[in-house]
């Protein structure tokens, strides 16, 4: 995967959504909301994506997810 690409993966069986920015690296997850986690590169501290559990099973239907894009991706969208 190229540095500025984004991968979106959804597993219907486990009701799990993952969004990954750029190349896959060793990451840890930081909880940022109910069933929502930020994927952070262990070496650089860069945001590498997000993981969301129980997308369909949520008590309140998911209408949108607002997250800040990593700086390197946001700059390339301008």
Phi-psi region of 3 (alpha: psi -120 to 50; beta: other; left: phi over 0): alpha
Burial of 52 (0-12, 13-18, 19+ CB in 10 A): buried
Question: What integer pLDDT is reported at residue 23 of this predicted model?
Answer: 85
Q: How many helices (H) and strands (E) does the chain have?
A: 1, 5
One digit per residue, the tens of pLDDT, for the chain of length 78 reads 455 788 999 999 999 999 998 888 899 999 988 889 999 999 999 999 999 998 887 665 555 666 666 666 656 555
């Amino acid at each position: 995967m190229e540095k500025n690409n984004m991968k979106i993966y959804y597993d219907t069986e486990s009701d799990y959504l993952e969004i990954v920015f750029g190349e896959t690296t060793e990451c840890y997850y930081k909880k940022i909301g109910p069933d929502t986690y930020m994927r952070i590169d262990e070496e650089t501290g860069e945001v590498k994506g997000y993981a969301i559990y129980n997308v369909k099973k949520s008590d309140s239907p998911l209408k949108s997810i607002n997250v800040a894009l990593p700086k390197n991706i946001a700059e390339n969208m301008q």
